Each structure stands twice: as C-alpha cells, then as structure tokens.
Amino acid sequence: MEKVREARPPVLYGVSDGPKSGLSEVQRGVEESRRVFRKSIDWPCRWELLERETNLGSYLSVSRGLDWVFQRVGETIVLEDDTVPEPSFFRFASELLEKYRDDSRVGAICGNNYDDPKEWPGEASYRLTRYHHSWGWGTWKRAWDCFDREEKLLAEMPRIKKENWMKLSCTEWAYWERCFQRTYARKLDAWDYRWTLSLWQHHLFCIVPRTNLVRNIGFDQHATHTMEANFANLQMHTVNPLSFPLNFPDDKSPNTRLDDHVFQSHYRVLEGRRNLWQKIRDRIQRTCGKRPAGSPGS
C-alpha cells in the first residue's frame, strides 16, 4: 500500500476475502489488513473495498473480485497483498494498457521478468510471451471476459494441446497438464492456472518488461502457496527500474527461445517440489504427440 500511495491512482479497488476460520486472531488479521487499506488512502481518490464475511479461497476470491472490478472499469492493474512493485511498474503498465487496449492479440501486461536481459536481442523495453506472470499485472475487461468461469476448458485441453500454437515441448505440456488437472480437481486452490488456459484457448499473448518490476515478499509458513524458502531466494525477486520512454519491440510474436528458457529456469523449479514417486507416475502416464517440425528443441 505504501507503493500504491506513492503512485496515487485516481481510482482504487480493494478485494478482501473473509477469514478461513472463526479464530479470533485470524479475524483480527483480516480486520487489520482492511484498516491498512483504508488508512493508506490520503490522496484524492475514488475507492471501494469489497469485504467478504466468509472465506472463498484464492480461486473464487480473486476471480470474482476481478469480475466485481470490471463491472466498474474497463481496465485495471492488479497487485496481490504480498507483491511490492518498483515505482516504474505503474507507468509501464499504464502506458501499455493504453497502447494495446484494442489489440486482440494481447491479453495482459505483466510486471515480472524471469529472463536474463543480456539474452534479449536489441534494446526493446518489453517483449511478448506465451506466459502470464501474476505477481503484478494489468488487463482489460475484453480479455478478462475470456476467463473460464464455467470450468469447461479442461475438456478442451486435448484440442488446445494438438493445436499447440504456443510451441510447447512434450515435457512442458506434461507439466502444464498436471497443473491444470490439479486446479480443476480442486486439489490446488488457484485462479491463475485457469487464467493461463483461458489465454491460450483464445490465442492471447502477454507482455513482460525487460527488467523485473515486482517483488514477492510472501514466502513463509503463513503463505497459501509460496511456503518454500529456497524458492524465495531466486534471482527473479530482484527489481530494477525501467527507463522511459519505452523502446517498442520490432518482433510481433513471442520469443520462443526466451520462453523455453523461462520454463527451464522458473517453472521447472516449481516442478522440483514433486517427490520422486509423483514424477515416475506422471512419466508413465504421460502421452504426448510429436513436437511440430522446426520448433526450438525439436
């Protein structure tokens, strides 16, 4: 909220889920977070706070919260409670939300960067990617309308996989299939995997900045998903300011080489949390067609 206060947005929405139990200390924590939201707003600002009495969980709280926001505005920047943006993130997201407002190829503007900037060709300030990174991002109502609220896309996954317009390897497809299946089976209370599959279903790219603009500080035993201390030490949590004016990229499609590297250096780190038996079982069960000819890594 201190970083939001520095940015002084003219319109601000807060979404606060209810406590997970009736424990008094949990209730106090929820009430304190709402108090922090309110007391931080000391600039001219139109704001609303959605306060739920019961706990919906990550998936429903975030997705329905964004539905609520998009009943009021046509585009927004999203920050969850454990993400701290570098100040240039707000200008970066705002300028590109305006630039790509009517571009049907782009689904989101992300503040995270998991690349090595030295590997980037040219001097572009950002690039297109097949991935959505949710630790600070922005999108439009036209894109969020694609979100799979009715949970029908799992049945569409074989077709999306066969089409493979993202040019994923067999190994990567196996990874994402596990994530999607766990999410739709309610074994993982998450909204962002559904959002990724929704973006892929509609052939929507995302944008990432040349430098990482958002840091996640929510790695501890109280976290919902990010409890692994070793994951918190990754270099990706370092933030650096972005220079303006922005240099627009010449490439109008995702850089497959950099995206492949992100899978190896970021998503495979998450993969490492599975135990050996899970990996052996998934390898036995895995079925995957041949990678398209000419794809990187083929």
Helices H / strands E in the chain, number of each: 12, 9
Higher pLDDT, 274 or 268: 268
Higher pLDDT, 113 or 91: 91
Tell me, yes or no, whether 59 lies in a domain. no
Above 90 in pLDDT, residue 24?
Answer: no
Higher pLDDT, 116 or 153: 153
Q: pLDDT value at position 181?
A: 94
- With cut-offs at 50, 70 and 90, classify the pLDDT of residue 291: very low
Tell me, yes or no, whether 32 lies in a domain. no
Number of domains in the chain: 1
Tell me, yes or no, whether 151 lies in a domain. yes
Tell me, yes or no, whether 51 lies in a domain. no
Q: pLDDT value at position 298?
A: 23
How large is the average pLDDT for residues 263-280? 65
Above 50 in pLDDT, residue 286?
Answer: no
Residue 212: which domain range?
A: 80-285
Tell me, yes or no, whether 10 lies in a domain. no
Cross-strand pairs, 216: 83
Q: pLDDT value at position 3?
A: 95
Tell me, yes or no, whether 26 lies in a domain. no
How large is the average pLDDT for residues 257-281? 71
Per cent of the chain over pLDDT 90 is 71
When the pLDDT of each residue in the chain is averaged and rounded to a whole number, the result is 86
Q: pLDDT value at position 247?
A: 96
Give the start-end residues of each E strand in the chain.
11-16, 46-51, 75-78, 83-85, 106-110, 126-129, 137-140, 205-209, 214-216
Above 50 in pLDDT, residue 27?
Answer: yes
CA 55 to chain centre: 22
